[in-house]
Amino acid sequence: MEVYPMFYDYLPFESTSYCQSYLKSVYVKHSFDEAVSLSYKNGLSFSYYVQHSQIYYQQALKAPYEIKPMLIYYGMIQLLKACLIRNNPYYPENSNDLAHGLSTRKRKKQNYVFLQDSVRIQQHGLFSLILDHMFHMKQIVGQSFTMLSLMKMIPEIGHLYTRLTHSHFHYPLIPRNEGEFEVSKKIIDDLCISKARLNRILSHHDIILADNASDVFVLTLKRPVPFFNPQPLQMRQDQQLFISNQRDYPSQIPELLAHYLILYNLSMICRYETDWWYDLLSQRDSNDISYIKGFLDITINKVPAIIADYLMNG
């Protein structure tokens, strides 16, 4: 099977013995009983999840946009299952764990706009497990996210968004010295919060906000920002950092989950809203198609990179 660049970091996981050794080290670190036998039991499944994901992604690279969402979504699902079996050797513990953990409107209304569509978080399923086991965050059952708000959590979308709207949803962090960055003071006006409030948000993540005589703040990062979850910042795949200027900024979810929610919705539309899906792909009177194609081109490369970073460094 040909190995595509986004899966180079996964090559060691093709070895079952390596997977068993890898899982053993994680299980021992987290003090699971019978770490050796559990790692031996789960090593093959872990390897299969990664291999199966790679097949989905390989087919998605070759596939037309008409079916890309399904292939990319299920490729991501397999990688997330590998993450879960890494963190919980007993996954799945019941049938609820196998659900998607999300819901959408069953039937799209007339004059439907994809960016205004939303996904709601359910109590059980993969989403809640990821939120808990990978990001150690509280459950947000019942909360809804619009597609536009989720797109704004993905920094690579920023250039397209600016071209289409002549505005921006984040500010770049400009490198100054080692671990120091500058950001425009306009950020607090956009967020409608005080400098003290922004400093409190950032300080919880070991980021110090200092004033400057000019028109910028200085951010000092006391520890490296992990690619798999750079919150409260955003990180492009080229490592460029940003800070969101959206009012919902303090309550945004990790970028990986934004990809998951958008892909879930697109895959559902692709499978069950065929008429609308093909109308969208063939017409050009809205910005939806630009965002969808832009997102698919980004997520097919970025999600495997985010999860690879998590598996190696999380």
Per-residue confidence (pLDDT) for residue 221, from 0 to 100? 96
The pLDDT assigned to 2 comes to 65
Say what angle helices 68-87 and 126-133 make with each other, to 10 degrees. 50
Residues 67-76 have pLDDT tens digits of 999 999 999 9
Nearest to 102 by CA among 57, 151, 147: 147
How many residues does this entry show for the chain? 314
**For residues 292 and 266, is the Cβ–Cβ distance under 8 A?**
yes
Token pair in block for residue 261: 């929610």
Overall pTM > 0.85: yes
Look over the chain and give the mean of its residue pLDDT values, rounded to a whole number: 92
CA atoms of 33 and 240, how far apart (whole Å): 41
**Cα 48 to Cα 53: distance, rounded to the nearest angstrom:** 8
Q: What mean pLDDT comes out for the span 303-310?
A: 97
Predicted local confidence at residue 99, as pLDDT = 85
pLDDT band at 113 (very low <50, low <70, confident <90, very high): confident
Q: The tokens of 65 are what?
A: 């946009």
Q: Which residue has the higher pLDDT, 34 or 108?
A: 34
Q: What string of H, E and C letters represents the secondary structure of the chain?
A: CCCCHHHHHHHHHHCHHHHHHHHHHHHHHCCCCCHHHHHHHHHHHHHHHHHHHHHHHHHHHHCCCCCHHHHHHHHHHHHHHHHHHHHCCCCCCCHHHHCCCEECCCCCCCCCCHHHCEEEECCCCHHHHHHHHCCCCCCCCCCEEEHHHHHCCCHHHHHHHHHHHCCCCEEECEECCCCEEEEECHHHHHHCCCHHHHHHHHHCCCEEEECCCCCEEEEEECCCCCCCCCCCCEECCCCCEEEECCCCHHHCCCHHHHHHHHHHHHHHHHHHCHHHHHHHHHCCCCCHHHHHHHHHHHHHHHHHHHHHHHHHHC
Retrieve residue 36's tokens. 């050796």
**pLDDT for 155-211, tens place per residue?**
999 999 999 999 999 999 999 988 999 999 999 999 999 999 999 999 999 999 998
**Averaged pLDDT, 78-87:** 97
Q: What average pLDDT does this structure show over 64-87?
A: 97
Mean local confidence (pLDDT), 103-129: 85
**Could you give the CA distance from residue 239 to residue 177 in angstroms, rounded to a whole number?**
16
Average pLDDT over residues 114-131: 92
Digit-coded pLDDT (tens) for 221-269? 999 999 999 999 999 999 999 999 998 876 789 999 999 999 999 999 9
Find the mean pLDDT for residues 141-148: 92
pLDDT over 90, % of the chain: 76
pLDDT grade, residue 107 (50/70/90)? Answer: low
Per-residue pLDDT band for 111 (boundaries 50, 70, 90) equals confident
Task: State which of 136-140, 142-146, 244-248, 299-303 shows the largest mean pLDDT.
Answer: 299-303
Q: How confident is the model at residue 109 (pLDDT cuts 50, 70, 90)?
A: low
Q: Which of 51-55, 100-104, 227-231 has the least mean pLDDT?
A: 100-104
239: left (phi over 0), alpha (psi -120 to 50) or beta: left
User: Looking at the predicted structure, is the pLDDT value of residue 26 above 90?
Assistant: yes
Which 3-state string (H, E, C) describes 271-291? Answer: HHCHHHHHHHHHCCCCCHHHH
